[in-house]
Amino acid sequence: MSRIAAGAVVTGLLLIILGLALGSVRLDSTTSDEISHIAAGMVKVLHGQLDFHRFQPPLWDAVLVAPLILDGVRVPRLEHPDRVNAWSLGRSILYRGGHDSHRLLFLARLPTVAAFLALCLAVYAFVARQTGRREWGIAALILTGFCPLIMAHGRLATVDVATSLFLFLAVTLLIRLVERPSALVAFALGLTSAASVMSKSSGNILGPVFLAIIVLAFALRRVADAPRFFRLFALAALTGLLFAEVAILGMASPQYIRANFPELSSPIARMAVPIAEGVENIRAIHLWYVRGNDMPQFLLGEHRFTSWAHYYPVAILLKTTIPALLLVLAGVVAMIRRLPGRSAGGGETKEPSRFAAVACFLFIAAYLIAAMRSEISVGARYVLPVYPFAYAGAIIVIKEAWSEVARSRRRMAALLVAALLGWHVVENLVAYPGYIAYFNELAGRKANADRLLIDSNLDWGQDLRRLAIWARRNGVEEMTVHYFGGADIPTDMKGIRTNIWYSPGPDALPSGWFALSRHFYRFSESGIWPVDYETYLQANRARFVTTVGDSILIYRVP
């Protein structure tokens, strides 16, 4: 495929992906974590109080709120930032400041949409370069851009997709540094590595991943000039450190530094503030990582405060399209068969793409092991960074295997890959606009999805505005609402009198309409409340009517 033709196809695909992302999120209410990221970004950018919402490094949150700050949104300095709830403050910023909350939310989501498109383009460029064929790069772009899980979070004011972008760029730039070392690649490697760590604490996975990839490169004799490679790698490390210095010291207020790092208050000692800040972020997230969630977590009908080692593999199996799973499985099988470094004909191969593919799967293994050892199991989004690596690595290996197939069978193999890609795209289009609640056919009926996974896998509060639309269309003027998410009920339900509900019982449900988040319906079985919703609704003789969007159940109470 020529450069011009490939450019036209890539541009067209990106425009379709952009249209699907913006169109699907148009009516999505504020999800549970978006308000916390908005609050964290505003406080850290405007007042340099980096100890607010300590679990979250500041970089991407600062990017998310840049459009809001340029639009004139402000937040007062916090007297005791460690005592302020980020979710409460975020709701106040969006809904209590006299602004158009829907417009502010749209502005805060735009940087993530840009990161989503950049991730698609990065995957395309990497695979096209490694395979030497733009068609295979387009295949990887399709897997990435039309992946329901990536698209679900590629439209929200959160950090998962941006972190995935920075991690993908960092690892692929390290691969590039091994293959064709240059100062420019080293400089970009340093920037993207620092951006990964400063956007989400999981970015620290780059340390062991880089070590494994460098060892692999030397084991496979990919490094032609070791002294030059290490000089450039040192340049990358220095670039990342300088970027962190500029970003953190530029953001942190003098008051914050004096209060949190009094021993680093002198001009020279301040150079150590970014490192100290990173250590504090790691400490904060580590406590959460090993302690578990504050509320019960859920998997396949079971609630517990700690995690399951198999949570993320199960979530991936249920939340990824079947054709994508088949293609990745084919890639893994082909890679395992080729690990000894021999081609199908028995001759030794020197293809550099072999190293790139193995590096991708090394990242996946490291990330999944880290996730499976944690005590946090609240969403497949926590392992979202493995997806672009899985898609890129699988396509690279499939292309290698395809090249070794007899010419008479190549057309059939290519058609099979194309058919799976088409199925993948159809899955995305059928899921529109409910990408957050997407489950593949292995989950069975969509109505039973909350028996398998909840929280950000299904119901993150995205359908409150759709509830208001449903109420107006059906002439509902008043209803009781038990809602899970980050939106403000009076704002998104404007024009509908709402009675906000907090738990099943002890009082009886008022007669009339009752709207219930599916998250709370299933969460009620954890034992946190005296009675579960199934029992409570039966006791109140509530009749199920319909489901609004994918996440809000509607009942009629006599």
pLDDT in tens, 518-546: 999 999 999 999 999 999 999 999 999 99
253's enclosing H/E stretch is none
Q: Is the pLDDT of residue 342 over 80?
A: no
Q: CA–CA separation, 484 vs 552, rounded Å?
A: 9
- 241 lies in which domain range? 3-28+110-261+275-430
- Point out the least confidently predicted range of 12-16, 145-149, 259-263: 259-263
Phi and psi at residue 139, to the nearest 5°: -60, -45
423 lies in a domain? Answer: yes
Q: CA–CA separation, 260 vs 440, rounded Å?
A: 47
- DSSP E strands: which ranges in 483-522? 497-500, 512-517
Mean pLDDT, range 358-369, rounded to an integer = 96
78 lies in a domain? Answer: no
Phi and psi at residue 398, to the nearest 5°: -60, -40
455 lies in a domain? Answer: no
Q: Is the pLDDT of residue 298 over 90?
A: yes
Indicate whether 354 and 233 sit together in one domain.
yes
Alpha helix locations (H) across 146-272?
148-153, 160-179, 183-199, 206-219, 226-251, 254-260
69 lies in a domain? Answer: no
Determine how many CB atoms are found less than 10 A away from the CB of residue 246: 12
Indicate whether 471 and 350 sit together in one domain.
no
Q: Is the pLDDT of residue 382 over 90?
A: yes
Please report the pLDDT score of residue 347 as a whole number: 36
Mean pLDDT, range 212-232, rounded to an integer = 95
Tens of pLDDT, residue by residue over 487-501, are 999 999 999 999 999
Q: Is the pLDDT of residue 283 over 80?
A: no
Please report the pLDDT score of residue 480 as a whole number: 97
Give residue 288's pLDDT band: very low, low, confident or very high (50, 70, 90): low
Please report the pLDDT score of residue 339 as a whole number: 64
Mean pLDDT, range 148-158, rounded to an integer = 98
Indicate whether 169 and 279 sit together in one domain.
yes
Please report the pLDDT score of residue 447 as a whole number: 85
**Domains held by the chain: number:** 2
Mean pLDDT, range 273-277, rounded to an integer = 80
Indicate whether 197 and 299 sit together in one domain.
yes
82 lies in a domain? Answer: no
Q: Which of 413, 430, 447 is the last residue of a domain?
A: 430
Quote the pTM value: 0.95
Indicate whether 496 and 375 sit together in one domain.
no
Give residue 254's pLDDT band: very low, low, confident or very high (50, 70, 90): confident
Q: What is the mean pLDDT of the chain?
A: 92
Indicate whether 418 and 477 sit together in one domain.
no
Mean pLDDT, range 105-116, rounded to an integer = 98
54 lies in a domain? Answer: no
Indicate whether 471 and 340 sit together in one domain.
no
Indicate whether 380 and 486 sit together in one domain.
no
Indicate whether 19 and 141 sit together in one domain.
yes
Residue with tokens 């198999």: 310
Indicate whether 349 and 469 sit together in one domain.
no
Q: Provide CB contacts within 8 A for 47, sequence distance 6+.
A: 75, 77, 78, 253
Indicate whether 404 and 478 sit together in one domain.
no
531 lies in a domain? Answer: yes
Mean pLDDT, range 113-129, rounded to an integer = 98
Mean pLDDT, range 10-29, rounded to an integer = 97
The alpha carbon dihedral of 520, 523, 526, 531 has a sign of positive
Indicate whether 336 and 386 sit together in one domain.
yes
Q: CA–CA separation, 462 vs 460, rounded Å?
A: 6
Please report the pLDDT score of residue 352 as a whole number: 59
391 lies in a domain? Answer: yes
